[in-house]
Structure formats: structure tokens, C-alpha cells
Structure 1
């Protein structure tokens, strides 16, 4: 006989259903989502186990943002529950939602808790949560970095959009990044377009060299291309021009701030990453540094949570469903739109870096790139990330360093 405990988590309360292997609801109740409520769940588990001595006890809940973190980790780390072999699992809400869809019933927290316990009773749940504190701490940093990168990307898109209003030919004419501090200051707040256009070439080149701290190899060439872009661009009215300048200045400051935040997070990741021994396994792969390796390890956690590399790929959302009926097998196998977005992001970014540094992966990337006429880079990169999963699994599982194939 087994005991299944389904918990529907919200910010304020925990709706709990205790269900046994024979589909008998032993108890349905509600506790507050705090340390006292979680301890009451623990006491109920110990009481039921004292009465029936269950072979297996599974506690499950959905991954509901930050709300499920504290009850899951408290129950998973409790010494009394460990002693009787309680397993705590956190499930993808999509899997629970699909399971609930099989039944025509109302949507309430009480019913949700029962269906979570019922889902566990079928034994199709995923692996346990990440247990060790070092992985959780690293995960907070790497996930925050991912979110800041998303904000930075969005800010850059808005900056370019508004820059096009001000100088629509700039990105075509100037062979340097518009997101460098010098270029952003030049177009966001320092001068008007006419000021730049009528400035002496030597004066503009000197300004670029001074603000760029000597980083421009050919400042005169850059200055000349900037002035040409300005001459070829449309002119705006003063009212619109003033509003665009304010927007550009705002986004320029945001971009600079977010860049600083990324650097701070990278420092925190690198300092914490040094205490994780398996990190050196991934860093031995050409192109994978501390940040990408930390992002991958933080989401995978203990490698023994996964039986095979295929489970890691599916967890990351690098999985293509097979479609077959009778003698027909579809050649179109779209990637599933689910999985851990953070792990997928770091695997894809790492794969892009590896394919630029490792010949074997570069060859594989180019092969996949040439197979289709559309979305070549995106598809090839995702396929390369799927290939990288196999390498990550081997290195982490065997605690070994990467050794490239010997050239003949």
C-alpha cells in the first residue's frame, strides 16, 4: 500500500489531499502556506504512516512560481520524513493540466489537490526536486541573469527602433556597434544630427577616440561613415526630434545599467561556481565558460535525477515528437513547446559558442544548416544543442574532462 499526498499551492494556502493506492481519500484539508502549515502536513503523513506503514509515500505539487519552493524544500529536507522514505516531487503544471482535462469536473483548489494526488498514483511523475543548497543558490543567480538578458535585449530593440526615426541609415553605413557607450552617447544626448553633420571630420574623430578611450582603430573612417549616414537620412520636425532624443537617452541609460547588472551577476556566478566540482567537467569543453556551465548545472542539479541523456533533453524541451500511423510516418516532427526554458537557453547559448570553437560541432552545425532553406541558423543551433546534451550527460555522469577527437 502506498500513500500519495497532492498539494495545490497558492500564495496564502495549501490545499491537501491524502490518497492511498486503492483510490481512497483519507483526508482533504487546507493549511496556511507557511512553516506551520507545512509542519501540519508532515504530522498528518507521520500519523497515517503509523497506522498503515506504507511501502512508499509520494508528496507532489505543481511548480507554481516561488510559492511551491518553501513547502517542497521543507518537506524534502525534514529528517523525520526522510527516515520513512518520503519522496517529494514538483511537477510541470502543463502535465497536471492535461491530466485534469480527462475528467469533466469543476475547477476548485480541493479538486486540484485530489487530481495531483491521483496523478501521482498513476506513477508517471518526473524526478525529485533539486536538493542541495549550492545548486539552488546558483540557480537563483543564473535565472536572474537570464531575465536581465531578456530585458537588455528588449531595451536594445526599442533603442534601435527609435534610432531609426532619428537616423534611418546609420546601421547600414557605420561598421561598428551602435550599442557602444561612445555611439550611444553621441546619438542619445550629446549632439543633434546637424551638429554632427557640420562638425569637422578631425573634431568628430577626436571625440570618438576620446570617448572610446582609443578603442577605434580608424576613427576618421568611422566619423566619415557617421556623417554620410546623417546626410542620407530623413529629417524630423523639432517636436518629434525632441521626443525621440528623450526616449533614446532613457534607453541608453537603461542599457548601461542592465549591462552593469549582468557583469555583477557574472561575478557572483563565477565565485559560487568555484565550489561545484563538476563545473570543471563542462568548462573543459572549448567555448563553454563559467556562466554557461553554471546555467546548465544549476538546472540539471544532481545528474542522477535523470536516468538517460534523453530525459535531460526532454526536460530542456529539446525533444521532437514522433508522428506515426499505420505504414505512414510523418517527416515533420515539430519541437515540443515545453520544458525548462532556462536550461534550454543555456544549452543553446553554449552550443552556439561550442560550434565556433570545436571543429566536430562546427561540422555538425553546418550540416544541419544546409538541410533546410528557412530558419537555418535557428534550426541548426537547436540541433547542435541537442547533440551537446549527450556530451554534457557523459561528462557529468562520469566526472571526466572533455577530450576532442584526435586528428589523423
Structure 2
């Protein structure tokens, strides 16, 4: 809570912002004014802020609402200028709209109310992220978006193929290198049966999967059977050839971009020891570790594991009124969706059994089995995500790799540590 410093409230828009200055006594000092988000506009704003600083002999703090990528540039600018910046969650800032009886909602009013909000609530200032962690976050989020696009186009490709050859997905995975290469050259079933194309198709089926001639011959026979079935069950339209080639080209292009980003992530990961620490946790591999670290950022931002759990949005909501206490409470989901998704994948991996029957993470697996005795599978998986995040907090804080120990061993180690202190 700010009590002895002036505050600059900013209502952010795409091309401009409204700024308002409030004195240390929470009275309006500068009426809201508009400035463009350009070099000239931001330099003008700095001049106005200097007037506030000179008037109160104190450097103002900055308050603005988190509005996605529009506010990120503004936050970055003021952090570079050495200001203390408070990036306020919209869930909190929206609550001020009902603070008065009259229904008044303008950008000027919002700028003033954001400044006054710092005199009511206690917030943690935003810090400039380390460059390597910021780069990692941008790369992993970009990769996730491209992977999502690939999934969407792959679904479109599969639905199109099923119109002309319903059995094709049973023969080859449409998203595999072999299927994409085949469909880029011979998109229609009638082309798979031509003698002129037989050698080329057999070469693809042999060289791309690298499983030998017998495998290639079996797949080719299945492909011919699929083409024969398509004559009756499929739709014979030449336009599908163009559609399939378009989708295949897009997917191949996305695959290329994913590989480029993966290389950049790999280079960054080698410079960050925290990535190796996260990879030591069973269930978190080369793909998930950079995503988790990029979303968490500097672990020193969090005083305890509870704060990190809240940041990720996997803390349970609370419903209580009078004598009523809710027992069917969902996760808040008010944190990073990217971190939650990565934790979900890590949790589902950790509770699996490998091909040989052993558990990926025996401690997490046993923890999950205990939870499903009293909870639904969905609730138990949420508990696993929570536990994994607490493990992540512990290893990042201690800067030590994960050790697979049972809860009993952990209690024993803790008691020994207490005896040493005594």
C-alpha cells in the first residue's frame, strides 16, 4: 500500500494512454491527459512526471492495468526509466468500477481510479525479468502457438483424407513424415494404385520410417486395400487433391518453424542451469522444462510455494457463507494458462507406467493412487499438479537436482536436520 509517494495512473489503449497523477494524500494533482504511445508522446509524459516529482520531492510510482501485449511495452518503458511499476490484475482493477453509485466509465476516470487503487490495496511491484528468462518465455509461448496451429491443420487434413479414403488413418498416421511426404506427391487414392508410382511409394515407405522392405511391402499392400475401399466409400472429387496439398504444405512449414525455435530454446537452455534442475524431475523432459522455467521466471519472486501455486492458478477456490462451507470447489485458474498446461502434461506423465511396468515417478504415482481412493481422478490429478509445483519450487530455490525419496525418508531427513541445529 502506497502512503507517502505520488502515483501515476495509466489507462492503456493500443495507440495512446490516459495519464493521471495523484498526490501522496490521494488527491488529484494532474488531471487526466492523453499521450500517444510514440517516442514523442512518451517523452512528453516523462516531462509531466518530472513536474510531479519536483512538486513532492519524491519519485512517483506507476500503476496500470494488465491489458495483454498493449500494456507490456508501457511497463517495459517505465521499468527502463527506473520507475517502480505496479502491473495490476484486471480482476482487481475491475472491482473499482462499482465503487461509486453513479455508473461512470471513461478512460480518464479509469486512470485516476488506478492511481487511487494503490492507496487501498497492497501490491507487489513488477520487476524487469532477466533477459535470458524473458527470451525463453517468448520462444516457448511462440512454439506452443505454432504447435496449436499444427494440430488445427492436421485435424483439417485428416477430416479431408477421410472424405476420399476413410481407411487411410488406419494405414498411416496423417501427421507422420511418411504420410505427409506421400500425400504431398500423391494426394488421391487413384494415384496410389498406378504402376508408374509403385516404386516411388515403396521407396518412401522403406526409407522414411527406416523399418525395412518387409514393413514397406506390408504398408503398400494396406495402402492398395485402402484405395480399393475408397472407390466405394470415398468421395471422388479432384478439388480434394489441391486441398490436401495445401494442408500438407502448411503442416510441413510449421514443422520447419518448430525445429528452428527448438534449436533456439536448446541454446538458451544450455545457458540456464535451472533447466537441467527441472529436467531431473521424472515426468519433466526437454520440452516441458523450458516452458515451466519461462513461465515461472525468477523463482526469487516467490516467497513460498503457496505463492507459486496461486500464480499458476491451481489453488482451489473457497466458497463459504455463514454456516455453509462449499466442498465441491474448482481450481481458481487465475494464473498462467501456459504453466497450467505444462503442469498437466507433467502430471499425466508422472502417474504413468513405462512399458516394462515400472513407474515414471514412483513417489508421485503412489501419491496419486492414495488420492483417487477419496477423490475423483480429475481432483487427484489436480493434487498431483499441486505437489509437482511444490517440488519445482523446492528444487529451484535450493538449486539442487531432484532426489527420488519417499515421504518417510523426507521426514527422517528433516528430523536429522533439526537435531543438527539443536
TM-score by length of 1: 0.84
Verify the 8 A CA contact 1:138 1:298 in the aligned structure 2. yes
**1:274 maps to which residue?**
270
Q: Which runs of 5+ in 1 are unaligned?
A: none
CA distance in 2, matches of 1:223, 1:381: 42
Q: How does 1:128-147 map to 2 (within 5 A)?
A: 128-147=126-145
Q: Report what 1:113 is aligned to.
A: 111
8 Å CA contact 2:205, 2:219 repeated in 1: no
What SS does structure 1 have at the residue aligned with 2:19? Answer: strand
State the match for 1:163 in structure 2.
161
1:223 corresponds, among 217, 220, 228, to: 220
1:3 paired with 2:6, answer: yes
Q: Relative to 1, partners in 2 of residues 1:298 and 1:180: Cα closer, same or farther, differing over 3 Å?
A: same
Match of 2:156, SS state, is helix
Aligned match of 2:311: 315
**Residues 59-138 of structure 1 mapped to structure 2, 5 A cutoff:** 59-78=62-81, 81=82, 86-103=83-100, 104-138=102-136
Matched, 1:342 2:338: yes
Q: Matches of residues 7-406 of structure 1 in structure 2 within 5 Å?
A: 7-27=10-30, 28-54=32-58, 57-78=60-81, 81=82, 86-103=83-100, 104-171=102-169, 173-174=170-171, 176-190=172-186, 192-196=188-192, 206-212=202-208, 214-215=210-211, 218-233=215-230, 234-238=232-236, 241-356=237-352, 357-365=360-368, 376=377, 381-405=381-405
Cα RMSD after superposing both structures? 3.2
Moved more, 363-372 or 258-267: 363-372
Q: Per-residue deviation at 1:40?
A: 4.0
**Matches of 1:177 and 1:225, distance apart in 2:** 13
Q: What does the per-residue CA deviation read over 1:144-168, in whole Å, with 9 as the maximum and x for residues that have no partner?
A: 1111111111111111221221222
Equivalent residue pairs, number:
394
Determine the C-alpha separation between the residues in 2 that align with 1:161 and 1:223.
Answer: 22
Residues 366/39 of structure 1: CA separation in 2 closer, same or farther (3 Å cut): farther
* Shift in CA distance, 325/312, structure 1 to aligned 2, threshold 3 Å: same
Summarize the Cα distance change of 1:204–1:271 in structure 2 as closer, same or farther, 3 Å threshold. closer
Residue 140 of structure 1 and its aligned partner are, at CA, apart by: 1.7
SS at match of 2:70: coil
Structure 1 residues 14-23 or 386-395, which shifts more?
A: 14-23
For 1:346 and 1:289, the matched residues in 2 are separated by 11
- Report the secondary structure of 2:69's partner residue: coil
Q: Deviation per CA, 1:56-79: give whole Å up to 9, x if none.
A: 84312223333322331222132x
- Do the aligned partners of residues 99 and 399 (structure 1) sit closer, same or farther apart at CA in structure 2, a change above 3 Å counting? farther
* Alignment partners' CA distance in 2, 1:49 and 1:182: 66
1:280 to 1:212, Cα distance in 2 relative to 1, 3 A: closer
Cα gap change, 1:198/1:380 in structure 2, threshold over 3 Å: closer, same or farther? Answer: farther
**Using the alignment, how far apart are the partners of 2:140 and 2:130 within structure 1?**
16
Distance 2:217 2:367 in 1: 41
- In the alignment, the residues of structure 1 paired with residue 124 and residue 226 of structure 2 have an alpha-carbon distance, to the nearest angstrom, of 56
Change (3 A) 1:161 1:362: farther
Q: Which deviates further from its counterpart, 320-329 or 345-354?
A: 345-354
Question: Quick check: 1:13–1:32 contact (8 Å CA) kept in 2?
Answer: yes
How big is each residue's C-alpha offset from its partner over 1:240-295, in whole Å with a ceiling of 9 and x where there is no partner? x2222222211111111111111111110111222223333212223423442222
Unaligned runs of 5+ in 2: 353-359, 410-422
TM-score of the aligned structures, taking structure 2 as reference length: 0.81
